[in-house]
Amino acid sequence: MHQVKRFSPLYHSRRARLTRLLIIGAYLIYLGVSSRRAEGQTAPSRLLGKVVAGSELPLADVEVTILSLSQTVLSDSAGRFDFGSVPAGDYVVRVRRIGFRGQQLAAHLEPARTTDVLIVMEVGAQVLPEIGVTARSLKPIEYAYTHKYDDFFRYRRVGLGSFKTRKDFESLNPLRVADIVRGISRVRVRDFMFENPEVWIYGCQRLGVFIDGSLQYPVTLTSGDRLDRIHPSHVEMVAVFRGPAEMPAEAAMFVHNDCAIMIWTR
């Protein structure tokens, strides 16, 4: 005869209690994770840095202001400033001192992170745009230590052309510079097995390749050969101007080109 197993009420009670404990434990873990996540999203950030003239001389009494928060600090004798805790977000930071060119910089502050920057000021008149300034149109504060990329940010602010920074293409792990511009509208890339890829812009007759502001010669070389003079790991920014209507206003620099690919190195 088949023997029927019987379970005592005590067994059922223990099993139900264990199930309830497991559910409660899982719920508490969920609450803990959610709480830590919410806390991380709302945790304040910190903005601090140093202001120098040229590349070495610390500047004291520089007025550094987060405009939307109306918070202002002055740099000390070592050129250091510190806002302490600041809500995470995107801000416009104004930097000015009598006798130096003022700057307005875009700062993206992430939750629970410290942003430590170096700001280089140039001697000159105090000139600052005060109307219609947004963080999106300004030079990022991470690049305040150098003026090397100012043209890139100036061209991008005008809005003509296509622009990429290292953040835009680093995850692609490009093997050649041609891979960075691949996919931009009207840019064509043809790959060859044993040669550099050919790069051209649809509708463009004279394509200029510029690296750090210098036109690459001879222009009789293919654009792929001229671009391949540097490794993608050395590229910080790229701008592509696909026709005369997009070309920057510096006529002397671009007079012999209908379109251009511009590279700024690290």
Domains, in order of start, for the chain: 45-145 (2.60.40.4130), 158-265 (2.170.130.10)
Q: What pLDDT, in 10s, does the model give residues 245-257? A: 999 888 677 888 9
With cut-offs at 50, 70 and 90, classify the pLDDT of residue 39: very low
Q: What pLDDT, in 10s, does the model give residues 176-200? A: 999 999 999 999 999 998 888 999 9
Residue 243 has pLDDT above 80, yes or no: yes
pLDDT at 56: 83
Of 35-39, 47-51, 180-184, 215-219, least confident by mean pLDDT is: 35-39
Of 64, 237, 230, nearest to 154 by C-alpha is 237
pLDDT at 3: 55
CA distance 30 to 102: 49
With cut-offs at 50, 70 and 90, classify the pLDDT of residue 219: confident
Output the pTM of the full model: 0.76
Any alpha helices (H) in the chain, and if so which ranges?
Answer: 9-42, 150-158, 166-169, 177-181, 223-227, 251-254
Task: Outline where DSSP puts E strands in the chain.
Answer: 45-53, 57-58, 63-66, 71-74, 80-86, 89-96, 103-109, 114-121, 139-140, 162-165, 187-190, 198-201, 207-211, 214-215, 235-241, 259-265
129 prior amide bond cis, ω within 30:
no
Q: What pLDDT, in 10s, does the model give residues 103-139? A: 999 999 999 999 999 999 999 876 655 555 666 679 9
CA distance 94 to 144: 12
Q: What pLDDT, in 10s, does the model give residues 159-172? A: 889 999 999 999 99
CA distance 111 to 147: 28
